[in-house]
Each structure stands twice: as structure tokens, then as C-alpha cells.
Amino acid sequence: MKGRIKPVLEYSAALLVLLAAWWYVSGPMGMPAYLLPSPASVAELLWSMLMNGKLLPHLAFTMQNIVIGLVVGSVFGVLLAYAFFKTPALSDYLEGPLVVIQTAPKIALAPLIIIWFGLGLTAKIVLIFSLVFFPVFAGALAGFRSIDSRLHDLAQLMNLSRFQRFLRIDLPAALPGIFVGVKIGAIQALVGAILAEWMSGSDGLGYLMTFATATYKTPLLFGAVLLTAFLGLAMHAILNEIEARFLSWSTPNEH
């Protein structure tokens, strides 16, 4: 337990310092409120929006898109990586092109995705998917390829079916690699979700940001940015917790 409390304290201390600096610049130093609203005014606004039900739908919308995009992107990333791993011919022909495509900044493709998939939910999910897919694919492929060859011997000795082999040996053995990809993918998913909301629609934290900017509601803009940052932190914490619980076997022993 001791090891858990320390990072929490460190995080809190860093946040307090930031908060104090923010308070000082916006208050005693006299920065105008339209440039930098005070922490109190931002907190007040967020609270009132929470109370009148105008905040949670936006937050939920963004989170929902992230989760869908992350799950779908991860599933497809892992499955394609497994297909590549099992079919060397496939990876011989497709791995090169795939890496080349990957070097194209997908954020630049965002407008194209909107044109192809419309202004609705589909385009948002597709954009998040495209950002999540590759890191998970790359992590999973590395994970599958680094499986101890003796585990393959074991699978053969046990006469496992293809499905048993995937589920009971290959997938768990590749999980540390897959998880590296998912952690990168989660950050990308947040970026993708916000970006997609900037470009179209009238829901989500990204939409709140563009709306606040267009109408000079600086406290709202700050609120949305802060919530996005907290969302990122929360995702990070959740993924770390999952990693600590399910992947402790892959780290060297603590004692």
C-alpha cells in the first residue's frame, strides 16, 4: 500500500503548485479574466453546469467514443497482428506498406474521414479507430513474435486446438506487448475524440472547447480543457491499475 500512496501525494503536490500559480496570476497579479479566468470562476461554472445537467452528457459522449474506438481498434489490431504472426506470407507482403501508411499523419486525414463517413458518430469512431489501431497492432505483433518458442512446443505437445492455442497460450503470452500498444492507443484515442468533436457535431468536450472559443467564454474553455486533462489522467490510472493486477507476472519479482 505504501508504494501506492507516494505517487498520489506527488501528483497532488504538483497539482496544488499549478493551482496556486494559476490563482496568483489570475488574482493578485491582475491578469484580465477574458485571458485567464480565476480557478474559482471555472470551478463555479463547472459546478453549475454539472447541477443543471449540461456537463455530464458532453463528458459521457466523449468517454463513450473513446471506449468504443479503443476497444474496436484494439480488437482489430490484435487480430490482424495474430494473422500476420500466423501467416508469414501475409506479413512479407503487407507489413512494409502498412508501416508506410502509418507514417502519414492521420490527423491530417481527419477532414477526409469526415467527408467519407459523414458528420455523425461513425466518422468520430473511425478517426479514433485509425489512431488506436496501429500502436496496438505493432505492440501485439511484437508481443506475439517474442513468445518463447518453447511455449509453442508446449502447445504442440498438448495437442491444443487453434482456438485453445490462441486463447490459452499466444494471447496471454503476448499481453505485455499488447498492453504497451493499448497504453499508447488510449492517449491517441483521447486526441482523436477531441479532434473529431472540434470538426463536427454538437456534443462532447471537444465541441465545448470550440463553442467556448467562438463565443469568448474563457471559463468554459478552461473547464473543458481541464476535464480533458483529467480524463487523460483517469485513463492512465485505470490502465496502470489493470496492468498491475493482470500483468504482474511479466515483471521481475519484487522480493
Partner 1 sequence: MIKIEQLSKIYGQGDDQVVALEPLDQQINAGEFVSIIGPSGCGKSTLLRLIASLEDPTSGSVTLETANLKRPVGFVFQDAVLLPWKTVAENIRFPLDTTGVSRKQANEKVAELVELVGLKGFEKSLPKQLSGGMRQRAAIARALADDPPILLMDEPFSAVDLLTRETLNDELSRIWQKTGKTILLVTHSVEEAAYLGSRVMVMSPRPGRLKATYDVDLAQPRGEQTKRDPKFLDLVSELRTLMREMTS
Smallest separation, CB 245 to partner 1 (Å): 12
**Chain contacts with partner 1 (rule: CB under 8 A):** 148, 150-151, 153-154, 156-160, 164, 168-169, 172-173, 175, 248-250, 252-253
Complex with partner 1: residue 6 or 245, whichever CB lies closer: 245
CA distances from 178 to 8, 133, 134, 225 (A): 26, 11, 11, 29
CA distances from 185 to 65, 135, 137, 179 (A): 13, 6, 10, 9
Smallest separation, CB 166 to partner 1 (Å): 12
Task: Please give the single-letter amino acid code of residue 13.
Answer: A
Smallest separation, CB 255 to partner 1 (Å): 8
Answer yes or no: are the C-beta atoms of 184 and 193 closer than 8 Å.
Answer: no
Complex with partner 1: residue 177 or 192, whichever CB lies closer: 177
Complex with partner 1: residue 92 or 153, whichever CB lies closer: 153
Complex with partner 1: residue 56 or 154, whichever CB lies closer: 154
Smallest separation, CB 145 to partner 1 (Å): 17
Smallest separation, CB 93 to partner 1 (Å): 25
Complex with partner 1: residue 9 or 254, whichever CB lies closer: 254
Separation of alpha carbons 78 and 61, rounded Å: 26
Smallest separation, CB 179 to partner 1 (Å): 12
Smallest separation, CB 248 to partner 1 (Å): 8
C-alpha cell, 35: 485571458
Q: Of 186, 224, 222, nearest to 58 (Cα)?
A: 224
CA distances from 164 to 11, 64, 137, 141, 223 (A): 43, 32, 21, 19, 48
Separation of alpha carbons 191 and 185, rounded Å: 10
Complex with partner 1: residue 73 or 143, whichever CB lies closer: 143
Complex with partner 1: residue 54 or 145, whichever CB lies closer: 145
